[in-house]
Amino acid sequence: VAAFARFLGPRAAGERRHWLVKSEPEAFSWSALEACPDRTTCWDGVRNFQARNFMRDGMRRGDLVLFYHSNAEPPAVMGVCEVARDAYPDHTAFDDADPHFDAKSRREEPTWMMVDLRAQERFARPVTLPMLRDEPALAGMELLRRGSRLSVQPVEAVHWEIVVRLGRAGTAR
DNA sequence: GCCAACGTTGGC
DNA sequence: GCCAACGTTGGC
């Protein structure tokens, strides 16, 4: 957690941060994102404080985000999105008919926040979890940590470059 | 379907 | 504040 502090604090001029979000394709797939108006959706339903903090305090418009299919066959990074809007209140927390309703989140003081994500580049080939695990230089990546469940997480720039290269069907090195 | 790992809840 | 119980995540 402390290792991620620099993803949460103030940023240098022109700094662009890199992230990864998970989505179960049966709930919301990369193709579903591409089908959205302007290829953009609000990233609602995040109900984990650490993930929320990354969206609220770490993400800014223009940051780049890997879109990962979890609980998929195979699990894989599908492409790159960009943050299209800074964090704002997640309205689904206020709706008692919504599965993500949270009675403790009030409009005057919202607990849960979301950003907007816009699809930017579908990878030439999905970068599967086995491909990621095969890459020694990705050994420290949060996604690959045993038991890692964070649905919104920072990505180191060096890791970012490797994943994108794999997705563009080149070689990692 | 199984189950390890994790976050949250609530009793005390 | 501790920690057991519980629900969820997500790979396999």
Higher pLDDT, A142 or A169: A142
- The pLDDT, as a whole number, for residue A103 is 78
Q: Exposed, middle or buried by CB within 10 Å (0-12, 13-18, 19+), for A43?
A: buried
Strand B reaches within 7 A of the A149 CB: yes
Strand B reaches within 7 A of the A1 CB: no
Which tens digits make up the pLDDT trace of A42-97? Answer: 999 999 999 999 999 999 999 999 999 999 999 999 999 999 999 999 999 888 88
8 Å CB contact between A2 and A9: no
Q: In the complex, which nucleotide's C1' lies nearest to the CA atom of residue A71?
A: C10
CB-based contacts with strand C under 7 Å?
A 22, 24, 70-72, 75, 129-130, 133, 149-151
Rounded distance in angstroms from the CA atom of residue A98 to the C1' atom of nucleotide B12:
34
Rounded distance in angstroms from the CA atom of residue A92 to the C1' atom of nucleotide B8:
20
Is pTM beyond 0.85 here? yes
Strand B reaches within 7 A of the A101 CB: no
**Does position A172 have pLDDT exceeding 60, yes or no?**
no
- The pLDDT, as a whole number, for residue A5 is 87
- The pLDDT, as a whole number, for residue A171 is 60
Q: In the complex, which nucleotide's C1' lies nearest to the CA atom of residue A145?
A: B5
**Does position A173 have pLDDT exceeding 60, yes or no?**
no
Which tens digits make up the pLDDT trace of A97-146? Answer: 888 888 788 888 889 999 999 999 999 999 999 999 999 999 999 999 99
- The pLDDT, as a whole number, for residue A113 is 94
Higher pLDDT, A154 or A105: A154
- Which chain C nucleotides are covered by protein, judged by CB under 7 A? 8-12
For the stretch A135-165, what's the b/e string if a residue is b when 16 or more beta carbons lie within 10 angstroms of its beta carbon?
beebeebebeeeeeebbbbbbeeebbebbbe
The alpha carbon of residue A65 and the mean position of all alpha carbons in its chain are separated, in whole angstroms, by 5
- The pLDDT, as a whole number, for residue A128 is 97
Which tens digits make up the pLDDT trace of A1-47? Answer: 557 888 998 999 999 999 999 999 999 999 999 999 999 999 999 99
CA atoms of A153 and A21, how far apart (whole Å): 7
Rounded distance in angstroms from the CA atom of residue A99 to the C1' atom of nucleotide C7:
15
Rounded distance in angstroms from the CA atom of residue A146 to the C1' atom of nucleotide B4:
9
- The pLDDT, as a whole number, for residue A105 is 82
DSSP state at residue A142: G
